[in-house]
Chains A and B, each alone.
Chain A
């Protein structure tokens, strides 16, 4: 394996992501998210160069600028404005959540090793990429399950989305660019709406602990 193999970066991204459930600090998790997404952007750029797909290079640039820098900065600003720095966590203590995430990283390798290998002409993508993608999805789910604050829920969703993107990047060749742009636009708009709702939740409830939003029950 050499440094120009995208798989190294997506696996590194999956490993960094497993650390996220271990921290309850919003700022630390946002940093981790930025690093994970930046690694995904590097993997995307390397895949684009390897396959001479210059449209994908544009996607890599958008991921680096909008998702790896833009979203963490805007969420950092949100947490600063709302004066929240720490999630209380729920369901599992943080260290246990992190260890579950690491275990699921291992499980992802077993789950994906029987998947048919991707048909890629210029080498690259193997089942390791699929394992990294599935592991990111698991980590995102663990984060959503074990966090109470709305910002952490959005972070969990973004990690899941990163996992799906990594899976698509390594297991397929040439997902239509329009579709990828559409997906990115939807995710960005979703995060923006989520961000606005967080402010509204703070204003109405004086907290952003979504575990306490339990008025509507049968």
Chain B
């Protein structure tokens, strides 16, 4: 059986179960279990590339996966499985609070999540720029249903902006894809090709003008989807209005997909004689994004908007790593960011459910209300800002030193300012959230379910910092 079809079975089954089952508890339990099974299946399929016996695993002409792709695929599935496991407790509490008036909304949420995961998985196994575009656009369409979950005015506004801004942005990536296809018809492949392996094999013969234009449009298009400044307007709205598990998936998985698409075109550009464009442009743009996001972080009023801007800052850092042609640093930064950010979004969801507000001005004393949430929140916030001993610290240090080695001083200075500012801003905001006296008489539920997944993620973040990341840097992929 074609392996790409094998990978689709669990998400499709999850979508059918979500739509067909009348028992919400059953869906809440079975869907994440299927996602965890999917992680096992992917790990099993990808063993040859993960242990290094093969450089890539070819499923069919237009579908294959390499080691970085396999790691990203596992990370994406892990993020979705964790977020949906936490969703059990989240929806139980929503139901107890009387906010789940229509069971169909939850069914659509679960089914869309499964299809969203399927679309995201295809991003990592597509070896064809055309299918890559289709997969990225499909992630927008399926995740729009997640953002619209609460059906109120704000969710509607966020969904509309998300759909329109991302669709127009992605349309430019389509134009870029067409230009790259046209560039291949000028001598390299007379019939033209969108297959990345074929394009890489003929990288020297691609028509330079069309290729460069194509690269710029792809960067613009996928950059919009990744939330690169100033094309990020949809991101804070969508992240803050979606329910917490969806915000976690948008930030921890979807942004990586868009950045991975940028990496695929950058990988191609790097092999052509015009690689100055694919190194200088992402580095400068990434550094500007990180700086802009960290400046906006200072004046945030919403708890989830705070993490959304922190995600934009990390997208900037990852874009710099892509520009440095370092897939390892790109993946490690994405891994550390995803693990910590998912944890932060999930605990923020718990806090919002308990306090009934997203406004930072009204959230204080979480450490008093729920010491477990408070400690986990502090750990994850430290991890996301890149404080030692967490993995992000090592990655950001490596990115800065690589930038200094390449004499990209402007980008390095901008990144240092951005990292410092975001560390201060996040510390101040988190300090206010954790300390002080709770304004409202908020009683946190003493439920194991609301803290278990964040606890697991915090342990992962710590282990990444003290074991995995240092060992990977000693023995690179």
Evaluate whether A186 and B185 lie within 8 angstroms (CB atoms) in the complex, with A161-B171, A216-B241, A218-B299 already known: no
Determine whether the beta carbon of B191 is less than 8 Å from that of A200. no
Query: Which residues 58-91 of B have a CB within 8 angstroms of A?
Result: none
> How far apart are the CA atoms of A110 and B241 in the complex, in Å?
44
Question: Contact at A157–B167, with CB atoms within 8 Å?
Answer: yes
Interface of A is mostly: helix
Chain A residue nearest to B157 (CB atoms) is A213
* In the complex, residue of chain B having the shortest beta-carbon distance to the beta carbon of A179: B130
C-alpha gap A157/B382 in the complex (Å): 41
State A112–B134 Cα separation when bound (angstroms). Answer: 27
**B175 within 8 Å of A (CB atoms):** yes
Cα A190 to Cα B168 with chains together (Å): 11
Is B159 among interface residues, defined by CB-CB distance under 8 A?
yes
A193 B163 Cβ-Cβ under 8 A: yes
Whether A182 pairs with B161 at a CB distance below 8 angstroms is no
Give, as a whole number of angstroms, the nearest-CB distance from B68 to chain A: 24
Does A171 make an interface contact (CB < 8 A)? yes
Question: Which residues from A are CB-within-8-Å of B10?
Answer: none
Residue pair A213, B160 in contact (C-beta under 8 Å): yes
- From the candidates A115, A183, A210, name the one contacting B133 in the complex (CB within 8 A): A183
B164 touches A119 (CB 8 A): no
Q: Do A197 and B163 touch across chains, with their CB atoms under 8 A apart?
A: yes
Q: Which residues of A contact B237 (CB under 8 A)?
A: 216
Q: Interface size (A, Cβ < 8 Å)?
A: 41
- Smallest CB separation, A18 vs chain B (Å): 19
Give which listed residue, B156, B185, B191, B300, contacts A218 with CB less than 8 A: B300
Would you give the 0/1 interface string for B117-146, flagging 1 where the beta carbon is closer than 8 Å to chain A? 000000000001011011001101100100
Q: Are B144 and A172 in contact (CB under 8 A)?
A: no
Selected contact of A190 from candidates B137, B190, B240, CB within 8 Å: B137
Q: How far is the CA of A168 from the CA of B217 in the complex (A)?
A: 14
Q: Distance in Å from the Cβ of B161 to the closest Cβ of chain A? A: 7
Q: How far is the CA of A168 from the CA of B128 in the complex (A)?
A: 16
A153/B164 in contact, CB under 8 A: yes
Q: Which residues of chain A are near B154, meaning CB under 8 Å? A: 215-216
Q: Which residues of B contact A194 (CB under 8 A)?
A: 163-164
CB distance from A39 to the nearest CB of B (A): 19
Is there contact, CB below 8 Å, between A179 and B134?
A: yes
Q: Quick one: closest B residue to A170, CB to CB? A: B182
Q: Is B305 an interface residue (CB 8 A)?
A: yes
| A residues less than 8 Å from B174 (CB atoms) | 161, 164, 183
The CA-CA distance from A55 to B131 in the complex, in Å, is: 18
Min CB–CB distance A153 → chain B (angstroms): 6
Considering the chains assembled together, what is the distance between the CA atoms of A58 and B134 in angstroms? 20
Flag whether B35 is at the interface (Cβ < 8 A): no
- With contacts A160-B168, A205-B153 taken as known, whether A119 is within 8 angstroms of B178 at the C-beta atoms is no
Determine which of B144, B151, B159, B178 lies in contact with A164 in the assembled complex, contact meaning CB atoms within 8 Å: B178
Task: Place the interface of chain B in its size category.
Answer: 35 or more
CB of B181 within 8 A of CB of A189, answer no
Are A137 and B191 in contact, CB atoms less than 8 angstroms apart? no
B contact patch SS: helix
A179, B194: Cβ atoms closer than 8 Å = yes
Minimal Cβ-Cβ distance residue in B for A181: B134
**Is A118 positioned at the interface, with any CB of B under 8 Å from its CB?**
yes
Contacts of B128 in A (CB 8 A): 176, 179
**Closest Cβ–Cβ distance, residue B185 to chain A (whole Å):** 5
- Taking a contact as CB atoms closer than 8 A, the residue among B138, B192, B241 that contacts A186 in the complex is B138
Question: Which residues does chain B contribute within 8 Å of A118, judged by CB atoms?
Answer: 182, 185
Interface residue ranges of A142-196 to B (CB < 8 Å): 144, 150, 153, 157, 160-161, 164, 167-168, 171-176, 178-179, 182-183, 185-186, 189-190, 193-194
Contact yes or no, B141 A193, CB < 8 A: yes
B106 to chain A, nearest CB (A): 18
Decide: A197 near B210, CB < 8 A? Known: A183-B133, A204-B153: no
Residues of A within 8 Å of B194, CB to CB, are 175-176, 179
Contacting pair A193 B157 (CB below 8 A)? no
Contact string, A86-130, partner B, CB cutoff 8 A, digits 1/0?
Answer: 000000000000000000000000000011101100000000000
A189 to B112, CA, bound (A): 14
Q: How far is the CB of A20 from chain B (nearest CB, A)?
A: 17
Asked if residues A178 and B130 are in contact (CB atoms below 8 Å), the reply is yes
**Cβ-based interface call for A201 (8 A):** yes
Which of chain B's residues have a CB closer than 8 A to the CB of A186? 134, 137-138, 141
B137 to chain A, nearest CB (A): 4
* Complex Cα spacing A126 to B72, Å: 41
Chain A: minimal CB distance from B139 (Å): 11
Enumerate chain B residues within 8 angstroms of A197, measured Cβ to Cβ.
148, 156, 159-160, 163
**Does B296 make an interface contact (CB < 8 A)?**
yes
**Candidates B157, B181, B207; contact of A116 at CB < 8 Å:** B207
Q: What CA separation (Å) do A129 and B138 show in the bound complex?
A: 29
Residue of B nearest to A121 (CB): B190
Is B168's CB under 8 angstroms from A175's CB?
no
A176 touches B130 (CB 8 A): yes
B210–A115 contact, CB under 8 A? yes
Binding site for A on B (CB under 8 A): 128, 130-131, 133-134, 137-138, 140-141, 144, 148, 151-154, 156-161, 163-164, 167-168, 171, 174-175, 178-179, 181-182, 185-186, 190-192, 194, 207, 209-210, 236-237, 240-241, 296, 299-301, 305
For the A-B complex with A160-B171, A182-B134, A186-B138 known, give 15 more contacts whose Cβ atoms are closer than 8 Å: A119-B185, A157-B171, A161-B174, A164-B175, A167-B178, A171-B182, A172-B181, A173-B185, A175-B181, A176-B194, A179-B134, A190-B167, A197-B148, A204-B152, A216-B237
5 pairs from A and B in contact (CB 8 Å cutoff): A164-B171, A172-B192, A174-B192, A176-B128, A190-B140
Chain A residues at the B interface, C-beta cutoff of 8 Å:
114-116, 118-119, 137, 144, 150, 153, 157, 160-161, 164, 167-168, 171-176, 178-179, 182-183, 185-186, 189-190, 193-194, 197, 200-201, 204-205, 210, 213, 215-216, 218
> 6 closest Cβ contacts across the A-B interface?
A179-B130, A182-B134, A168-B178, A186-B137, A213-B157, A216-B237
